[in-house]
């Protein structure tokens, strides 16, 4: 038990019922998550992570303690430490650190982050891809794919957020690349293709071009207008609901067309979500 690499986690922790409130998260669970030895079990735990404490532990784990002080000092002096600010900030620090390392060392560190037990650490790895200016959108999509298909909800959300800005700069190119994604057998991959291109999105900047011209993405939406997975249905419905804020008549017309062409319970569910903000 003195060696953190051989920590034994009890079944009661592994099989825990996730807390609904921050104050209800057991101290043992918090400590294990902060050490990178346990995944968060729900959004409450995911939002409770102190990423700077976790980063310090991961830097030590990877033999990077000598480099840790200036990194942690810069992060501790950030004015904004909310989760969607701190994760990109940590990714930038990793990118800066990589610039000081050999290619072999860069690969060693990145591979460790990408395959880490901690879902939060894998979130950093996803943002490293999104913020790497050397990569084309084709490369970013290829490298983000494992995170888009991750078993953890938090990593999947961060995956599309990490590429959101890059996607918005090359929409038509991205749509062409995502055409295969909306036909993929993996529900998470199909969902990424839709969620990453929402006109408004959640915790993300709006994409003005799609707010003004949602028809640009219609061929992607058409491919999943009757998707069997509720995870994808929700994303499509939310995409169309986003579009309804600026193009209500377009959304009405598309929904009517979908119901005529695909009168399934899946399409009906999508249309209901799509039109929920429209006034009759």
C-alpha pair distances (Å), 168 with each of 6, 171, 176, 250 = 44, 5, 13, 21
Percent of the chain past pLDDT 90, that is, above it, reads 90
For residue 68, pLDDT over 50 is answered with yes
Rounded Cα–Cα distance for residues 120 and 87 (Å): 9
247-257 confidence digits (pLDDT tens): 999 999 999 99
Percent of the chain past pLDDT 70, that is, above it, reads 98
pLDDT band at 203, cuts 50/70/90? confident
Fold of domain 170-280: 1.25.40
- What backbone torsions phi and psi does residue 206 show, to the nearest 5 degrees? -70, 155
Rounded average pLDDT over 90-96: 98
Question: Domain locations in the chain?
Answer: 1-168, 170-280
For residue 1, pLDDT over 90 is answered with no
pLDDT band at 179, cuts 50/70/90? very high
2-24 confidence digits (pLDDT tens): 344 568 888 888 889 999 999 99
pLDDT given at position 12 = 84
């Amino acid at each position: 038990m003195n060696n953190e690499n051989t920590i034994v986690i009890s079944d009661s922790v592994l099989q825990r019922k996730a807390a609904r409130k921050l104050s209800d998260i057991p101290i043992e669970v918090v400590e294990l998550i902060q050490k990178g030895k346990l995944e968060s079990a729900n959004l409450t735990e995911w939002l409770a992570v102190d990423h700077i404490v976790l980063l310090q532990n991961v830097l030590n784990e990877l033999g990077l303690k000598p480099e840790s002080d200036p990194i942690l000092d810069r992060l501790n002096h950030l004015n904004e430490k909310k989760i969607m600010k701190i994760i990109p900030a940590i990714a930038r620090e990793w990118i800066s650190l990589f610039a000081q390392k050999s290619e072999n060392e860069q690969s060693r560190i990145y591979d460790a982050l990408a395959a880490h037990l901690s879902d939060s650490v894998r979130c950093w790895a996803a943002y490293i891809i999104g913020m790497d200016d050397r990569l084309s959108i084709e490369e970013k999509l290829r490298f983000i794919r494992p995170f888009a298909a991750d078993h953890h909800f938090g990593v999947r959300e961060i995956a599309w957020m990490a590429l959101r800005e890059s996607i918005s700069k090359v929409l038509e190119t991205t749509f062409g690349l995502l055409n295969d994604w909306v036909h993929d057998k993996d529900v998470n991959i199909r969902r990424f293709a839709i969620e990453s291109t929402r006109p408004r999105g959640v915790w993300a900047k709006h994409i003005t071009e799609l707010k003004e011209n949602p028809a640009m993405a219609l061929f992607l939406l058409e491919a999943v207008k009757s998707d069997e997975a509720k995870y994808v249905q929700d994303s499509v419905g939310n995409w169309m609901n986003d579009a309804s804020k600026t193009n209500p008549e377009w959304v009405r017309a598309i929904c009517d067309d979908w119901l005529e062409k695909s009168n399934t319970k899946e399409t009906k569910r999508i249309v209901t979500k799509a039109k929920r903000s429209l006034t009759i």
